[in-house]
A and B are shown apart, each in its own frame.
Chain A
């Protein structure tokens, strides 16, 4: 068995007493002081995440836009340099290979930020379908990635950079200087709170981490692990690849049809999506809110009047609501407010069909 990879911040995680677990081939912090405390810190003040394990794949050249349009569902031509969009990468059958964010770094220069677990798969898919005039390079090892998330994150970051951060709006990015190094900061995140993702050279990540931790300490900044990252994203109804979708699911089934623009022209999987729009979907990803005790977990079956109507993909305890929440593929005939039973671990959990987000975050659209 090959050794787990480590990000450039590994020593700091150890020093902070993090519980480290294997994740996508990396040894990553799942929690430091505890999932509930870390989650609540992000919702009330701010938290700092090391997500350097994620993949960064660049596409450059006169046909870079054409390439991006071919391999994604959203309309990349809507992006001007300095803008980001959420999009999906599909195979030829319309199944999801990944969801990701796409940054337009320049007229002919794009950056895909993909899930750590899909980095090699996407890099290979892009190489297989490459075209002259669109050079693809996996730059993941050249980027460290920190996420500063929470309602007070702008006030902290503005003390550390010269740029006026009020001009960097939701899903926009800019270049700043931190610790004498160039960093790309985008007003994006996976928590539902206002916040920034910070892309920089791995050799400088430790210094920038220390700078943020020191500057944010009196304001309540804490390090946050992957455990709270999951409870935060699930409270918002954000998807997790591998749980909520995989290659057997289309973006329409997964509820992200808003990131699909069939009118933009041909792209991998378009035919399947057009068929689905016409025929309808037997099952769609929905939210579930527990009305009693118990926490729904992945693969628990969902029943209504004794009949199976779906299956849970992600479930957890919502620290904000203090009850269980979940995402599940459910028969399309079910509507918001319908009562269901979730079967798992020998018990029945009562829940109702809900439309995420389950909570309101501070992110500024």
Chain B
């Protein structure tokens, strides 16, 4: 499983790339999530300007097999969405941390970032998942 060190992670298998200076977060789903979903065919994202709330659904990812909600890792306002995913949803499977970034948000509360998991913590969380 690919797990970039510089990202933060959630139990719902989202990742966030935090720019603390600009107070902007880029959000997507992890390699583990795309692997579990299988071939992604649709990605539903909120409109620019939408406020998203920590731990609440902000969109969905649909694969051939199932639909999965996307949960906000932290609260903020949507600045930009990745339009390319409408044409190429398979990017989520091919490059979940790069080409398949989903939304960029302005960070409402920097302290929420501290509650996100590090790569190390997420890795441990994943190994516990598989044991169940």
Contacts and interface: CB of A to CB of B under 8 A. Distances in A.
B64 A316 contact: yes
Given A34-B93, A35-B65, A295 B60 contact: no
B64 A36 contact: yes
Contact of B62 (A31, A34, A36, A294): A294
A322 B67 CA distance: 16
A329 interface: no
B38 interface: yes
Nearest to A31: B38
B41 interface: yes
A227 B39 CA distance: 10
Contacts of B93: 34
Interface in A287-332: 293-295, 297, 316-317, 319, 322
A36 B94 CA distance: 13
Nearest to A34: B39
Interface residues of B, number: 14
A43 to B, nearest CB: 15
Nearest to A319: B64
Contacts of B39: 34-37
Q: Of B42, B44, B63, B64, which is in contact with the most chain A CB atoms at under 10 Å from its CB?
A: B64
B60 A231 contact: no
B64 A317 contact: yes
A197 to B, nearest CB: 24
A174 B90 CA distance: 42
Interface of A: 19, 31, 34-37, 227, 231, 293-295, 297, 316-317, 319, 322, 345
28 contacts: A19-B38, A31-B38, A34-B38, A34-B39, A35-B38, A35-B39, A35-B65, A36-B41, A36-B64, A36-B90, A37-B39, A227-B38, A227-B64, A227-B65, A231-B64, A293-B44, A294-B42, A294-B62, A295-B62, A297-B66, A297-B67, A317-B41, A317-B42, A317-B62, A317-B64, A319-B64, A322-B41, A345-B60
